[in-house]
Amino acid sequence: MIAIDALGTFSLMVGLLTLTPGLDTALVLRTAALGRRHRAWGVVLGIQSGTLIWGTLTSLGVTALLTASHLAYEILRWAGAAYLVWMGGRLLWATWRRSVDDATETPGNGVEVTSGAGSVDSLLGGWRQGLTTNLLNPKMGAFYVAVLPQFLPADASHLAAGVLLTGIHILLAVLWAGVLITLGHVLRNRLQQPAARRCLDRITGTVIAAFGIRLALGE
């Protein structure tokens, strides 16, 4: 069995990681702020499905092969970087298109432009987005390879212990995501105004693309 103090230390570590603003926070908050609660929860479930996969594979020793293989790590790193830059670029491009359409729109013409990234309130669509974002981030695998084995007891099943610890991480992340979604829901009326929507999407798109560039640069 895992010692209570080890559980506490691991919970504190992943709790601080969860509270640190990053890509997951930007995705969930932006989706919820646009009033798409189903898709926002889909993003959360997708991200945590990826976390469960990383935790399970680490417990089985599979992800150690990823960090040991330079080629495999580089392929995943570049794929993840390309996906994040593409996703952030789509958001930024959509805000530019909306700016142009707003400038040329005449009263009563019924022009409505939606962002290509997550414009439908779909639980499944959000799950796919969250899962893809998580699994294409090799640093998630590297984090689990570096941290998780330190908390796996030698006299117990590594798989069971690893899934338990990963479950703690997932639980804390879901609780924090609930706070973010509630915050987004409260602010949705303001953030759905055209100017505020463009500002939100530009910030989110820039954050996502910046993560992709940092990943490509290996930082």
102, 193 Cβ separation under 8 angstroms: no
Q: Which residues contact residue 94 at a Cβ distance below 8 angstroms, ignoring those fewer than 6 apart?
A: 113, 114, 115, 116, 117, 201
* Domains of the chain, residue spans: 4-76+119-193
- Residue environment code for 53-92, b if the CB has 16+ CB neighbours within 10 A, otherwise e: bbbbbbbeeebeebbeeeeebeebbebbbebbbebbebbb
Nearest Cα to Cα of residue 172 among 19, 3, 23, 7 = 19
pLDDT in tens, 21-47: 888 888 898 899 888 889 999 999 999
Instruction: List, for residues 107-161, the tens digit of each pLDDT value.
Output: 443 333 344 444 577 899 999 999 999 998 877 877 888 888 888 887 778 889 8
d(CA 173, CA 156): 26
pLDDT in tens, 147-190: 888 888 877 788 898 999 999 999 999 999 999 999 988 888 77
